[in-house]
């Protein structure tokens, strides 16, 4: 802001004053007053919040160019530093089997719908989520496409790639790892949804779109730490994208849509506030994490963390074999997932448990079926057993039960009790 004011004062003192149009992406979000307008795209049914700012500002061209170059350089440095930052090995995490299982099942079958991890502070929630980076498999994407379009699935293609495929143009394909994107609590809607460059649209007549975090997270993982502290307007954006699988940005009569299908992973401390029921229902599974009470396990956790902090590369090297074995197990489970079968009787029992627990909607039935198949694939089997269902169904239904303030039993234990009776 100080740079903008100084540039404006210099321009006013000069004998000639030149007014230039600007791109909203070049300005900090707090530099100008914004007005939020909700619009509805009839073809998709998603409501998107858009920020409108004045289109003209008295600013020198050199200052704008310097701001653009410096922000690009900072982004490249940040990406390179993040790619080189060592993460704690997933195989080295002690305990917390429920959380680790939910994360692995979502990697095997992204259609489960993500996982919500709630627990005490300092129990390794964020560490476990970020350690998934080493285990994520590779996917095929179109080279040069910022939305990670699938070259074999038209539903996962951006509009530009779909037009190129319709014209018969060859699409360059490359294999890359599934990306994990962190959504900061202080992120703005422009950074999350993306922005439209109005200057290029008016001067050149082209739709210049600056992709946001939702575009980067397409076909990947979107992680929100302390999700129960997320602002309501960002929660609305996530709900819209999670419901439709598309993100639509509308501004000044220009509309741009792109696919936004991602695995939503959130973590939080229940002492800091409850999560909105609308967003909580969007998570396919729910994992509860508690503080380890066993003294021997606590000592082992402290020693493992101390060893990683002392020599991260050496510590990761000691778990390389276990990491590679787990990565191969995940890849094998993903390839055999389509061949996993479930008997009709087991499907009926799942729906019977959901009905007896008064679960609203059918999302609990669908997620329970998918999670049971993913667990069977992870164990190397082609058929789901009653044990698989009993293992995953508490995590699929726990957060979907209606809360009774007079009920003292934990919702997860209530689900297990019904499952044992039904199965």
Active site amino acids: 363
DSSP code at position 332: H
Q: Which two tokens stand for residue 128?
A: 């476990």
Distance between start and end Cα atoms, the chain = 64
User: Residues 49, 253, 211, 235: what is their CA dihedral angle, to the nearest 10 degrees?
Assistant: 10
User: What H or E segment, with its residue span, contains residue 305?
Assistant: helix 295-310
Distance of CA 296 to the CA centre of its chain: 35
Contact 285, 395 (CB under 8 A): yes
Beta bridge partners of 180: 221
Cβ atoms within 10 Å, residue 353? 23
Contact 196, 208 (CB under 8 A): yes
Polymer length of the chain: 423
User: What H or E segment, with its residue span, contains residue 259?
Assistant: strand 254-259
Distance CA 322, CA 124 (A): 19
| Alpha-carbon distances, residue 62 vs 3, 5, 9, 71 (angstroms) | 11, 14, 14, 14
Spatial CB neighbours of 64, under 8 Å, sequence gap ≥ 6: 20, 22, 26
Distance CA 344, CA 341 (A): 10
Q: Angle CA(223)–CA(225)–CA(231) in degrees, nearest 5?
A: 100
Distance CA 168, CA 101 (A): 43
Contact 49, 36 (CB under 8 A): yes
């Amino acid at each position: 802001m100080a740079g903008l004011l100084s540039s404006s004062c210099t321009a006013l003192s000069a004998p000639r004053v030149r007014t230039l149009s600007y791109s909203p992406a070049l300005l900090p979000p707090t530099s100008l007053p914004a007005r939020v307008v909700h619009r509805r795209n009839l073809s998709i049914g998603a409501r998107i919040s858009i920020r409108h700012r004045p289109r003209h500002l008295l600013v020198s061209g050199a200052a704008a160019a310097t701001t653009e170059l410096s922000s690009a350089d900072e982004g490249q440095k940040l990406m390179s530093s993040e790619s080189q930052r060592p993460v704690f090995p997933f195989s080295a995490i002690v305990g917390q089997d429920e959380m680790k299982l939910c994360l692995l099942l979502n990697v095997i079958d992204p259609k489960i719908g993500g996982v919500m991890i709630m627990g005490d502070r300092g129990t390794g929630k964020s560490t476990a989520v970020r350690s998934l980076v080493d285990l994520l498999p590779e996917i095929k994407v179109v080279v040069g496409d910022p939305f990670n379009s699938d070259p074999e699935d038209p539903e996962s293609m951006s509009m530009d790639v779909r037009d190129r495929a319709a014209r018969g143009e060859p699409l360059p394909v490359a294999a890359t790892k599934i990306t994990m994107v962190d959504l900061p609590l202080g992120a703005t809607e422009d950074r999350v949804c993306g922005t439209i460059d109005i200057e290029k649209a008016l001067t050149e007549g082209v739709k210049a779109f600056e992709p946001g975090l939702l575009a980067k997270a397409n076909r990947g993982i979107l992680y929100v730490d302390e999700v129960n502290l997320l602002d309501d307007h960002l929660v609305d954006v996530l709900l819209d994208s999670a419901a439709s699988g598309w993100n639509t940005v509308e501004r000044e009569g220009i509309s741009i849509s792109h696919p936004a299908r991602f695995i939503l992973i959130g973590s939080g401390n229940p002492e800091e506030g409850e999560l909105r029921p609308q967003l909580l229902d969007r998570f396919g599974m729910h994992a509860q994490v508690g503080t380890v009470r066993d003294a021997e396990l606590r000592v082992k956790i402290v020693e493992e963390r101390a060893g990683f902090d002392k020599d991260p590369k050496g510590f990761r090297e000691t778990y390389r074999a276990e990491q590679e074995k787990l990565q191969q197990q995940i890849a094998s489970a993903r390839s055999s997932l389509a061949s996993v079968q479930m008997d009709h009787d087991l499907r009926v029992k799942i729906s019977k448990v959901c009905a007896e627990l008064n679960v609203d909607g059918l999302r609990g039935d669908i997620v329970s079926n998918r999670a049971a198949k993913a667990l069977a694939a992870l164990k190397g089997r082609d058929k789901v057993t009653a044990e698989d269902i009993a293992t995953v169904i508490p995590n699929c239904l726990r957060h979907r039960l209606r809360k009774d303030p007079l009920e003292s039993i934990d919702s997860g234990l209530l689900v297990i009790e019904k499952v044992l009776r039904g199965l």
